[in-house]
Amino acid sequence: MRAPVTILPLRVDGLDFSAGATRILTDVTLSVAAGPPTVIIGPNGAGKSVLLRLLHGLLAPTDGRIRWGDSAEATQRQAMVFQRPVLLRRSALANVLYPLRLAGLSAAERRRRAENALALVGLSALADRPARQLSGGEQQRLALARAAATRPEVLFLDEPCASLDPGATRAVEEIVARLAAAGTKIIMTTHDLGQARRLAGDVVFLHAGRVLEHAPAECFFAHPETEQAAVFLRGDLLPH
């Protein structure tokens, strides 16, 4: 029997990224395996969003390499949800159906997947509502449904709860935890250390464009190895 195709592990080797004369990421080397969410944390401007965009292929590295397990499948098997998702001026359901049509699925399969995805995020009752009339939290859940319906093996989330209140944040966290438990590899950024503690299997700590730590979450939070991470976890300001 053939082993199932997997795009993991993701291996990043000596990644540099500069915009003009500004160095944003320096010598990022990481390996990300299947399993519970990988959460990238660090101060404002550390380079978290840029790193996520590089990993997802939205930016090209200045130097270094990003390698996926089965590279031929990598593009089709990953999705990304942004801080402020861009939704089509159509119903919630139509937003979820759209990428499924692009993927060439049959009408029946599209319908089935879209309805399941809306149910997963608790939006079945709002399926016919214009997406842009939904609240911020509902829009973020819809964006998660749209991504989840494509059944990505890896799902990148950039600050998925950035402007959400605690209730909406918890709702998104529950969806993320459910997707992770069902086998989707989540790679996400967050400013919310409570959220990182609740969701992370492993933590990448980024500071000034460098990975200072990558450790299992319980080790990182209990015993950060670098002074910078200890300062960050205390909520103190880190010098650049």
Ligand X SMILES: Nc1ncnc2c1ncn2[C@@H]1O[C@H](COP(=O)(O)OP(=O)(O)OP(=O)(O)O)[C@@H](O)[C@H]1O
Provide the binding-site residues for ligand X, judged by CB under 6 A. Answer: 19, 22, 24, 42, 44-50, 191
Q: Residue 88 carries which DSSP code?
A: -
List the beta strands (DSSP E) in 59-101: 63-68, 78-81
Which among 73, 75, 47 is positioned nearest to 158, based on CA atoms?
47
Looking at beta carbons only, is 47 or 152 nearer to ligand X? 47
Min dist. Cβ of residue 93 to ligand X (A): 31
Tokens 């990148």 belong to residue: 156
User: How do strand 10-19 and strand 63-68 relate by DSSP bridges?
Assistant: antiparallel
Looking at beta carbons only, is 27 or 109 nearer to ligand X? 27
Please, which residues bridge with residue 211 across strands? 206
CA distances from 212 to 23, 150, 179, 206, 231 (A): 16, 33, 28, 6, 13
Please tell me the distance from the alpha carbon of residue 172 to that of residue 11, in angstroms, as a whole number: 28
